[in-house]
């Protein structure tokens, strides 16, 4: 039995090392704050660690971890102190000179606009367009109906179009690539 426990811990450690950064970037897209993203990522991996022994389908680990992350995020946004404390970072002036790139400016504008959406709309858009999940998988991850996913996606995209002042569909999906 101890060798099974050791093997299970090794597998979890390998999965954690391989997927930590991906889950952290998803958390950042959801919350817009790297420190909060770290906390959400840790919560998701703790939930995954608790249920690790019961995992039968190794192919479903990413979906399970993503679901843990999204539900942790939505749970946090319902807390009273989170609603009172609004985190808005001042956008820095775009860099001037040769190192100013269009991609960086677009990424900052996009993540700022994404932060202005309500939590459930943001979660739907991250699942649908960042993780490329279909409506059914997004509904399962969020624990809601497919109709709710569709309406949140439509409202979220409409709001992003207003905030960004251009066609959101033309923007690159991989807006969060690096760390802080």
Specify if 149 maps to a domain. Answer: yes
Specify if 154 maps to a domain. Answer: yes
Q: Please list, in sequence order, all residues whose beta carbon lies within 8 angstroms of the beta carbon of residue 1, skipping any fewer than 6 positions away.
A: none
The pLDDT score that the predictor gives to residue 98 is 46
Task: Name the pTM for this structure.
Answer: 0.65
Write down how long the chain is.
Answer: 180
The pLDDT score that the predictor gives to residue 176 is 46
Specify if 175 maps to a domain. Answer: no
Specify if 124 maps to a domain. Answer: yes
The pLDDT score that the predictor gives to residue 122 is 92
Specify if 90 maps to a domain. Answer: no
Range of the domain at 12: 2-84+100-170
Please state the domain count of the chain: 1
Specify if 176 maps to a domain. Answer: no
Distance (Å, rounded) from C-alpha 2 to C-alpha 94?
56
Distance (Å, rounded) from C-alpha 8 to C-alpha 3?
8
Distance (Å, rounded) from C-alpha 110 to C-alpha 156?
13
Specify if 58 maps to a domain. Answer: yes
Counting as low any pLDDT under 50, the low residues of the chain are 1, 83, 98, 171-180
- The CATH number of whichever domain residue 33 belongs to comes to 1.10.10.10
* Terminal-residue alpha carbon distance, the chain: 42
Residue whose C-alpha is closest to residue 105's, from 172, 21, 15: 172
Specify if 177 maps to a domain. Answer: no
């Amino acid at each position: 039995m101890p060798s099974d426990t050791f093997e299970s811990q090794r597998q979890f450690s390998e999965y954690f090392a391989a997927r930590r950064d991906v889950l952290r970037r998803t958390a950042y897209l959801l919350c817009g704050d790297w420190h909060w993203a770290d906390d959400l990522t840790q919560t998701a991996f703790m939930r995954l660690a608790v249920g690790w022994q019961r995992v039968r389908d190794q192919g479903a680990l990413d979906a399970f971890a993503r679901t843990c992350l999204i539900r942790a995020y939505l749970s946090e946004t319902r807390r009273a102190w989170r609603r009172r404390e609004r985190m808005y970072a001042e956008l820095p002036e775009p860099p001037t000179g040769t190192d100013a790139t269009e991609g960086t400016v677009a990424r900052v504008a996009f993540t700022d606009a994404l932060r202005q959406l309500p939590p459930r709309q943001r979660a739907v858009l991250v699942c649908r367009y960042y993780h490329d999940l279909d409506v059914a998988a997004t509904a399962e991850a969020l624990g809601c109906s497919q109709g709710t996913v569709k309406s949140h996606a439509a409202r979220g995209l409409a709001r992003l179009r207003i905030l960004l002042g251009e066609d959101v569909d033309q923007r690159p999906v991989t807006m969060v690539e690096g760390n802080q």
